[in-house]
Amino acid sequence: MSLKIDTKCLHIQNKEESDCHYGAISYPIYQTATYAHPEVGKSTGFDYSRLQNPTRQQVEKVIAQLENGIDALAFSSGMAAITALMELFKYGDHIITDADLYGGTIRLFDNINVKNGIEFTHIDFTKSEPENFIRENTKAIYIETPTNPMMRVTDIEKVSKIAKEHNLLLIVDNTFLSPYFQNPLNLGADIVIHSGTKFLGGHNDTLAGFIVTNREDISEKLRFIIKTVGSGLSPFDSWLILRGIKTLAIRMEKSQENAFEIVKYLQSEPKVRKVYYPGIEGSQGYEICRRQARGFGSMLSFEVESAELAKHILKYTKLIPFAESLGGVESLLTYPCTQTHADVPEEERIANGITDCVLRMSVGIEAASDLVADLKYAIDSYDGYKGRYI
């Protein structure tokens, strides 16, 4: 029986592979570091929790199922997942990446991986053809879609064809839309990345990261890497992600519904110069996103008329916290230039559109009218001419 994605969030397709001990509906937390063996040459399938743990194995099965992959690996954070992924590459390899990526990813690439001899070319996939930047030593293309925070949309299927023609890996960070709205493996990607901290967990209470693949050779290499570097997800955090995924479908639908209401308000606000959201009809990437995804998500960014107004909004919203991260049930406002992208060189950050007038919003599941009222209060309370609170 083929299950709908809403059902996959709650049930493993093959029931025989789930835990049958005592009939527990909530999968147990196997809080153990090591496992006893019946005798030499015989094993329960588990030896040491750095290698594998039943609770972690369960969340990996769920994520693999949601992304239609053959394997998923759970890491202690999204950055731990990307760090382990980069161990697939060696000194002298070249990777083409989107210029607009999460600041932590850029920091890893430009400071750690470059130091280790990996070369990167950052391009705007909405303006440049990746094929023009392929070299003899190019090994992969790395994208986010939509991007963080400027919400640019890349045609995954188009880029996957280019990658396959040149024997390159296509890696897609699918954090913003989650497997509920988008499945890059179905569109030709080889590897999917998730910060499980975000929509998969959904409650701003745990850190996690995932790598999903549909290739046996990649799975085998990554399994060796995760047991060697020791960055696997803990049993308790694995359980928190399992619990979060149970409500993924209804959270994504509600937060997206709210996002549309907030976009509508922001577009009508004179002090807002521009709104970045892939669900705006006629915007960059709208048609691509509609074709390759089942929704537009609940992440948006907007540019206000001045840096002073941006800072005022962050100070004077009463309901929406000024905080990093995204994807939880609570709405959050982030200031990319001093938070998520603080380590990105200013010239590069501004070239990507991330000025001190840009705010990013992760829309939660509160009443949309309350969120709009909170934003309206903060914006209306600013006297742009006197630069003070009214």
Structure tokens at 372: 């709009």
Q: What span, in angstroms and rounded, lies between the C-alpha atoms of 106 and 343?
A: 8
Residue type, position 334, single letter: T
30 is catalytic: no
| Paired sense of beta strands 119-123 and 94-98, if any | parallel
93, 100, 173, 190: the active-site residue: 173
198 is catalytic: yes
- Which DSSP string do the residues of 159-196 spell out, in sequence order? HHHHHHHTT-EEEEE-TTTHHHH--GGGGT-SEEEEET
56, 61, 152, 198: the active-site residue: 198
161 is catalytic: no
Instruction: Name every residue whose Cβ is closer than 8 Å to that of residue 195 and which is 6 or more positions away in sequence.
Output: 77, 78, 79, 81, 175, 208, 209, 327
Peptide bond into 38 cis (omega under 30): no
Q: Which residues pair with 213 in a beta bridge?
A: 71, 191
Q: What span, in angstroms and rounded, lies between the C-alpha atoms of 347 and 260?
A: 32
Distances (CA, A) of 113 to 91, 93, 192, 195: 9, 10, 19, 19
Within the chain, what is the greatest distance between any pair of CA atoms? 79
CB 298 within 8 A of CB 363: yes
30, 102, 142, 335: the active-site residue: 102
50, 107, 158, 215: the active-site residue: 50
142 is catalytic: no
Q: Which residues pair with 334 in a beta bridge?
A: 360
Catalytic positions are: 50, 102, 173, 198
